Amino acid sequence: MLLWLPNLLFNMVEYISKPLSHSLRLFGNMYAGEIIFLLLWMMAGAGIFGTASAVVLGFVWAVFHILIVLLQAYIFMMLTVVYIAMAHESH
């Protein structure tokens, strides 16, 4: 009877931490990918060789980035499904 308050606090931590971890993880992954794009295109300021290498490496990174985005979408979808399934379990 008296344990409802600690139980509520533990559940609130759980309810807040899952979306927060999702959003921070997604932000970090997106930010890192865009920073790599920016660093590659900054190579273009190094002259003709820098521009040529930035274009080639930028294209390679763009293809790799698309594959990473698809993998992240799958992982976040699965995590969301697992979290929703865990929320509907009966104890």
Which residue has tokens 């660093």?
Answer: 39
Angle at the Cα of 65 from the Cα atoms of 19 and 69, rounded to 5 degrees: 35
- Name the residue among 84, 37, 81 with its Cα closest to residue 63: 37
Q: Show which residues are catalytic.
A: 21, 25, 29
pLDDT digits (tens, 9 = 90+) for 9-40: 888 888 888 888 888 888 888 898 889 888 88
Which residue has tokens 């976040």?
Answer: 76
Alpha carbon distance 28, 72 (integer Å): 12
Contacts of 42 (CB under 8 A, 6+ apart): 54
In this predicted model, which residue has the larger pLDDT, 64 or 87? 64
Q: Is the pLDDT of residue 1 over 80?
A: no
Query: Residue 34 has which token pair?
Result: 């865009």
pLDDT of res. 44: 82
pLDDT of res. 2: 83
